[in-house]
Amino acid sequence: MPSFNPPLRTLMGPGPSDVHPRVLAAMGRPTLGHLDPMFVAMMDELKDLMRSAFRTKNRLTIPVSGPGSVGMETCFVNLVEPGDTVIVCQNGAFGGRMKENVERCGATAVMVMDDWGKRIDVNKVEEALKANPGAKALAFVHAETSTGVRADAEALCKLANEHGALTIVDAVTSLGGIPVEVDAWGIDAVYSGSQKCLSCTPGLSPVSFSARAEEVVRGRNTKVQSWFMDLNLVMAYWDSADGAPRAYHHTAPINSLYGLHESLVMLDEEGIEAAWARHAKNHQALRAGLEAMGLSLLVDEADRLPQLNAVVIPDGVDEALVRKTLLANYGLEIGAGLGALAGKVWRIGLMGTSSSANHVTLCLAALETTLVGMGAPITAGASAEAARAVLFN
């Protein structure tokens, strides 16, 4: 059996994004033991870098050993107990996963539903909180990867705080791409993923818990249902009380953590506000090029994510064949629609390293050429100039 040598792709789907060569190089460095003093020092640096990215001073800020879905479960299983009530917002696929987590914790999920492609209605959330006094938490997706919609996280967190509820926030696609202000907005528990706007490999989930959330974790009436994700145990590995030695919990993914450290160093070097601006500019260039072709975006302009663009598929176009052709002819990956949007949109990611002028221009040229070749009803020859007008002016 020969070694596996993957082809070189340009990743512009909903994730993962392209991994920067610096991150790949970091992951190839010598493996240390998970309790080696040098590795423990790197762990402390990593926590500080994560705090900077999340814009928080939370002590309990760590990367969970697993993808964003494990970060999600970590938040729910530590904060939610049997008999609790949690208000869950759903306007796409990932709000539904939050509901599953609540119910698997033995709690009741009160759903606030909005159409796929539309922003979470803050007024509906307020009504749900009023109708369910004593609700333990409000859970919502900040950047809905299935639709490209941004939630008004600041307003939702303010509402939850006014009603005495914790907030559990999915920032898997938002961290590093748009503002995530954990302290300023009063987020209690937030989770993200390494493979989106941070451009590391999949398999790690940065999480952060407020002091209030920490108290809830420590004051539970029942054991956390997951041993592996029990923060009362995990924190003995990621933090030391009064200089005590770190306690073994699990063998951390050493080299993957090197990669996350490097990706956060790069984010720190760029400056997080500059990273937000880069994602916004590249989104505007992509949008200009798509519109010049005659294509449109699903989400209202005020609610769009710059890093995840839901593009409406023209009538009569075989969307799966377009994606297959882009991959075969250009090594370019874009994503299909999920759930209610399956067959209706393409999802084009501009995340992390994949958010660049080169990615925008390649995507537009490849998509235009492919659609023209299929006889699609688009305007040819205008997309490149429209994008250049945004990128270089």
- The string of pLDDT tens digits covering residues 75-130 is 999 999 999 999 999 999 999 999 999 999 999 999 999 999 999 999 999 999 99
**Mean pLDDT of the chain, nearest integer:** 96
Superfamily of domain 272-391: Aspartate Aminotransferase, domain 1 (3.90.1150.10)
**19 in Cβ contact with 258 (< 8 Å):** no
**Helices 211-218 and 68-79: angle between axes, nearest 10 degrees:** 60
Give the end-to-end CA distance of the chain in Å, rounded to a whole number: 52
For the four alpha carbons of 309, 312, 344 and 95, in that order, the dihedral sign comes to: positive
* Rounded-to-integer distance, Cα 156 and Cα 169, Å: 10
Instruction: Report the pLDDT value the prediction gives residue 157, as an integer from 0 to 100.
Output: 98
For the four alpha carbons of 319, 322, 328 and 333, in that order, the dihedral sign comes to: negative
Instruction: Report the pLDDT value the prediction gives residue 242, as an integer from 0 to 100.
Output: 64
Contacts of 130 (CB under 8 A, 6+ apart): 163
Q: Is the pLDDT of residue 208 over 70?
A: yes
**110 in Cβ contact with 81 (< 8 Å):** no
Name the E strands within 91-248: 108-113, 137-141, 143-144, 149-150, 166-170, 189-191, 204-209
* Rounded-to-integer distance, Cα 250 and Cα 248, Å: 6
pLDDT digits (tens, 9 = 90+) for 58-80: 999 999 999 999 999 999 999 99
What confidence tier does 247 reach under pLDDT thresholds 50, 70, 90? confident
Average pLDDT on 6-20 reads 97
pLDDT digits (tens, 9 = 90+) for 152-185: 999 999 999 999 999 999 999 999 999 999 999 9
User: Is it true that 20-269 and 272-391 share their CATH fold?
Assistant: no
What confidence tier does 393 reach under pLDDT thresholds 50, 70, 90? confident
Fold of the 20-269 domain: Aspartate Aminotransferase; domain 2 (3.40.640)
Instruction: Report the pLDDT value the prediction gives residue 246, as an integer from 0 to 100.
Output: 83
Instruction: Report the pLDDT value the prediction gives residue 241, as an integer from 0 to 100.
Output: 66
DSSP code for 187 = -
* Rounded-to-integer distance, Cα 89 and Cα 261, Å: 32
The domain locations on the chain are: 20-269, 272-391
* Rounded-to-integer distance, Cα 296 and Cα 177, Å: 22
